[in-house]
């Protein structure tokens, strides 16, 4: 393992890999710093640029975007109080007050170094756990894979905040998309609805790009001006000078906090499609609960910044584990990475690390080096990062949509993908407006074919449907799926009851 | 009276029942005894049940929350979608370069209407720069063949 990692690190130090990695990290930091532009959108924009690159170059650039984006959001979160990405929301709680109290450099560098520590701990898990988990998954038959994918989908659907029913329905709609066009087992046409571009099925990348890019851009367009007004204070130059020794000491003197926040980040990263936004909030909440001075949280204390930033970068490591060991994207960003692998003809899943060891360890190396590049880029450019938020959205959004169009078109040089992009862009926006979560939908689109293939394989091997329950691992996974939905329903009911009680209490007074 | 969720559920229920009906006409295959309609029927059945549950849950909800009122500009969103639709349609006829130039300029002007000659010059410059940079990056450097126009020939 260490030999392969060493070779991966040496490989990545070559200019041809280092340049895309550095550019990806820079793009991630800039995208992460821009309020209203998430890491998902940044990676969607970067995706078409990777088509002409070799797989490791492309994936290095994407890993850079992921790592850079997770840290980029902290600059605007700290200095403007506007989280550049949802994964930096909790950073604003203490980072911004600390900056307002006259210590912007300390706040920014606490965040950056906490990101590095969290990211490196996530990296240890990524490198150490991917191989064993993939080896474990190699024991899986079609029954286990079917049950694993069902578990992933039910967990994502159940963990959405708004409504469990809508989460489940959203996941089911994602599965419906995969039954249109062609049968993945025999490749025969089915349910094309007379639409010519559906004949070959619906490729998931244009769907993913359309759903996420349009949902996000149109939601911003809808409340036009909000971001611009908030960013008006961004023109002023700030000194971000801070003693790195002091900042590093503030972090290493809280080893339990860093470890616990990173553990939460990794754990949430491993669970499909929950993402950094939940990781930073949960880590912040835990830091507050374990603190001897919880009342100080929100006033500008280092624990709040450290917990949030360590968790959101450790989350990246966790997300990469699920895609590399099981072929299940941990979130939308890894879903795009999965698409990039597919474009290069590489099958993700348990065999990925065995069949593509050089590429897998190259990704590990890219992940580690991206953290160092992130520090260098932010050391040089953090003070200029504030000017990034003044980029007019009116110029940015059309350019992003053009890149999305090119990304969809260039997948196989067909206009059908552009029409799919638009169709699912409309659907994505409609889903957001009607309160349907996007994550289960996308996971349904990604896993639909695999669920069908494994179901058919299992039944063709042995027609006994009870095998899904009687085979130990499969049965356990199905039980976990049911438990996750039941737990989500219970949690949702409890929350509704509390809200109702609070409303009654308010009414009494 | 149905709310937003109820109508959304009803739309999904209708669509899934229509598709379910279409799966009944799918022919089987001797190679795969289960047939191409087996899995779609399960998925559509589950979708229909969930959609029906959403309709019922919505109609049973006693306290309906009022939709949040905000300064949402849906007209602008609709215009942006329409403009993108025109762009997607124009790509085949005008080609990437011309349609992208027009689209970026139009979308930019729609999102932030220029109020002076300088503003219009900025819009034109952004459109030109976006088109040229994307074209050069993809066609020349990444060797992606971007759409050619049937009418323009480029």
The residues spanned by each domain of chain A are 2-502
Give yes or no for B114 touching A (CB within 8 A).
no
**Is A172's Cβ below 8 Å from some Cβ in B?**
yes
Nearest to B53 among A165, A175, A221 (CB): A165
Chain B residue at shortest CA distance from A503: B63
With an 8 Å Cβ cutoff, are A395 and B85 in contact? Answer: no
Q: How far apart (Å, rounded) are the C-alpha atoms in residues A119 and A450?
A: 31
DSSP string, A26-48: HHHHHHHHSTT--HHHHHHHHGG
Please report the pLDDT score of residue B13 as a whole number. 95
Alpha helices in A389-466 (DSSP H): 393-409, 415-433, 438-461
Contact B147 A218 (CB under 8 A): no
Residues of A in contact with B146 (CB under 8 A): 406, 409-410
* Low pLDDT (below 70) residues in chain A: 35-36, 158-162, 224-239, 272-277, 330, 383, 386, 388-389, 502-509
Judged by a CB distance cut-off of 8 A, whether residue B98 touches chain A is: no
B66 close to A (CB below 8 A): no
**Whole-number CA gyration radius for chain A:** 22
Statement: the pTM of the whole predicted model exceeds 0.90: no
Residue pair B6/B58 in contact by the 8 Å Cβ criterion: yes
| Radius of gyration of chain B from its Cα atoms, rounded to whole angstroms | 24
Closest in B34, B77, B104 to A402, CB measured: B104
Give chain A's end-to-end CA distance (angstroms, integer): 65
Contact B81 A425 (CB under 8 A): yes
Contact status, residue A261 vs residue A305, Cβ threshold 8 Å: no
Highest averaged pLDDT of the listed ranges A370-374, B64-68, B77-81: B77-81
Report the interhelical angle of A104-137 vs A55-79 (nearest 10°): 140
Contact at CB, A165 and B87, closer than 8 angstroms: no
Q: Would you tell me which residues 135-164 of chain A have a C-beta closer than 8 angstroms to some C-beta of chain B?
A: 163
Q: Please indicate whether, in this complex, the C-beta atoms of B32 and A222 are within 8 angstroms of each other.
A: no
Residue of B19, B24, B31, B40 to mutate for A, most A C-beta atoms under 10 A: B40
B154 Cα to chain A: minimum distance (Å): 16
CB–CB contact A456 B100 (8 Å): no
Question: With a cut of 0.90, is the ipTM above it?
Answer: yes
Neighbours of A23 (CB within 10 A): 18
B19 contact A CB<8A: yes
Rounded CA gap, A409 and A424, in Å? 14
Taking the Cβ of residue B2 and every Cβ of chain A, the question of whether any pair is shorter than 8 Å is answered with no
pLDDT at position A48: 86
As beta bridge partners, residue A181 has A190
Contact A61, A50 (CB under 8 A): yes
For residue A386, the model assigns a pLDDT of 66
Chain A residue with minimal CA distance to B8? A434
What mean pLDDT is predicted for residues B104-119? 93
Q: Are B23 and B44 in contact (CB under 8 A)?
A: yes
Residues 196 through 225 of chain A touching chain B, CB cutoff 8 Å: 214, 217-218, 221-224
By mean pLDDT, which of A325-334, B77-86, B137-146 is the weakest?
A: A325-334
Residue B149: closest C-alpha in chain A: A415
**Minimum-distance CB partner of A392 among B4, B112, B147:** B112
pLDDT in tens, A6-24: 888 888 888 889 999 999 9
Mutation for testing the A interface, residue in B43, B95, B100 having most A CBs under 10 Å: B43
The kind and range of the H/E element at A181 are strand A181-182
Return the residue matching tokens 């050089």: A358
Residue A492, Cβ neighbours under 10 Å: how many?
A: 18
**Does the distance separating the beta carbons of A169 and B16 come in below 8 Å?**
no
Q: Which pLDDT belongs to residue A188?
A: 80
Q: What is the pLDDT of residue A236?
A: 54
Residues 6+ apart with CB under 8 A from A176: A444, B16, B19, B43, B44, B47
Quote the minimal CA–CA distance from B88 to chain A in Å: 7
CA distance A212 to B128: 26
User: Is B141–A165 a contact, with Cβ atoms under 8 angstroms apart?
Assistant: no
pLDDT computed for residue A75 by the predictor: 83
Of B5, B36, B53, the CB nearest to A188: B36
Size of interface A-B (CB pairs under 8 A): 163
Partner residue opposite A172 with nearest CB, options B33, B37, B46:
B46
Out of A175, A413, A426, name the one closest to residue B81 (CB).
A426
Give the chain A residue whose CA is nearest to the CA of B83: A398
Render pLDDT for A327-385 as a digit per residue (tens, 0 to 9): 887 677 888 888 888 887 788 788 888 888 888 888 889 989 998 999 999 888 776 77
Contact state of B50 with A426 under an 8 Å Cβ cutoff: no
Residues in A closer than 8 angstroms to B31, CB to CB, are 186
Q: Is residue A81 exposed (0-12), middle (13-18) or buried (19+ Cβ within 10 Å)?
A: middle
Would you tell me which residues 413-442 of chain A have a C-beta closer than 8 angstroms to some C-beta of chain B?
413, 415, 418-419, 421-422, 425-426, 429, 434-436
């Amino acid at each position: 393992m260490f030999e392969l990692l060493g070779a991966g690190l040496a490989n990545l130090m070559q200019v041809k890999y280092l340049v895309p990695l550095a550019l990806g990290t820079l793009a991630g930091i800039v995208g992460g710093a821009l309020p209203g532009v998430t890491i998902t959108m940044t990676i969607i924009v970067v995706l078409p640029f990777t088509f002409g690159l070799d797989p490791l170059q492309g994936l290095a650039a994407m890993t850079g975007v992921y790592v850079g984006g997770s840290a980029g959001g902290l600059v605007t979160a700290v200095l403007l109080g506007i989280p550049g990405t949802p994964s930096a929301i909790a950073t604003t709680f203490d980072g911004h007050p600390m900056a307002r109290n006259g210590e912007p450099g300390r706040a920014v560098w606490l965040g950056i170094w906490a990101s590095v520590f969290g990211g490196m701990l996530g990296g240890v898990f990524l490198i150490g756990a991917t191989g064993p988990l993939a080896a474990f998954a190699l024991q899986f038959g079609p029954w286990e894979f079917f049950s694993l994918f069902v578990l992933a989908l039910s967990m994502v659907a159940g963990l959405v905040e708004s409504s469990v029913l809508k989460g489940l329905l959203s996941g089911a709609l994602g599965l419906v998309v995969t039954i249109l066009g062609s049968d993945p087992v025999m490749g025969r046409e089915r349910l094309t609805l007379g639409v010519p571009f559906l004949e070959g099925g619906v490729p998931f990348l244009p769907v993913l790009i359309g759903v996420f890019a349009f949902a996000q851009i149109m939601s911003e367009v809808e409340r036009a001006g909000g971001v611009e007004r908030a960013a008006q204070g961004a023109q002023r130059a700030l000194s971000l000078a801070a003693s790195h020794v002091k900042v590093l000491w503030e972090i290493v003197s809280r080893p339990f906090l860093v470890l616990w926040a990173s553990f939460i980040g990794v754990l949430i990263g491993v669970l499909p499609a929950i993402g950094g936004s939940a990781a930073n909030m949960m880590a912040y909440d835990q830091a507050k609960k374990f603190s001897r001075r919880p009342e100080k949280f929100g006033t500008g204390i280092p624990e709040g910044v450290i917990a949030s930033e360590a968790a959101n970068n450790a989350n990246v490591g966790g997300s990469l584990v699920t895609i590399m060991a099981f072929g299940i994207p941990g979130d939308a960003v890894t879903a795009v990475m999965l698409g990039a692998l597919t474009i290069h003809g590489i099958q993700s899943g348990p065999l990925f690390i065995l069949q593509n060891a050089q590429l897998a360890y190259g990704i590990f190396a890219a992940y580690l080096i991206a953290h160092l590049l992130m520090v260098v880029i932010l050391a040089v450019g953090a003070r200029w990062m504030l000017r990034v938020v003044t980029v007019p959205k009116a110029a940015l959004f059309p350019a992003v949509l053009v890149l999305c169009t090119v990304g969809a078109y260039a997948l196989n040089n067909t206009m059908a993908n552009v029409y799919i992009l638009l169709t699912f862009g409309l659907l994505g926006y409609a889903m957001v407006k009607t309160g349907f979560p996007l994550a289960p939908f996308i996971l349904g689109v990604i896993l639909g074919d695999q669920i069908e293939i494994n179901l058919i394989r299992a039944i063709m091997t042995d027609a006994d449907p009870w095998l899904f329950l009687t085979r130990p691992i499969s049965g356990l996974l199905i039980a976990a799926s049911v438990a996750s939905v039941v737990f989500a329903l219970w949690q949702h009911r409890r929350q509704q009851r509390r809200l109702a009680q609070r409303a009654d209490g308010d009414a009494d007074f | 009276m149905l709310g937003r969720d109820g109508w959304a559920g009803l739309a999904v229920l209708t669509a899934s029942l229509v598709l379910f009906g279409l799966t009944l006409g799918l022919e089987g295959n001797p190679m795969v005894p289960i047939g191409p309609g087996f899995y779609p029927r399960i998925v559509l059945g589950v979708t229909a049940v969930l959609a029906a549950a959403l309709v019922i849950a919505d109609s049973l909800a006693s306290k309906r929350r009022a939709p949040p009122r905000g300064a949402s500009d849906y007209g602008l969103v609709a215009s942006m979608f329409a403009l993108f639709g025109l762009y997607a349609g124009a790509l085949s006829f005008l080609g990437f370069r011309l349609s992208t130039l027009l689209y970026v300029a139009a979308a930019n002007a729609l999102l932030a209407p220029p109020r002076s000659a300088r503003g219009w010059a900025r819009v034109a410059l952004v459109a030109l720069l976006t088109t040229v940079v994307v074209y050069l990056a993809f066609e020349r450097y990444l060797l992606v063949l971007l759409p050619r126009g049937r009418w323009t020939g480029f």
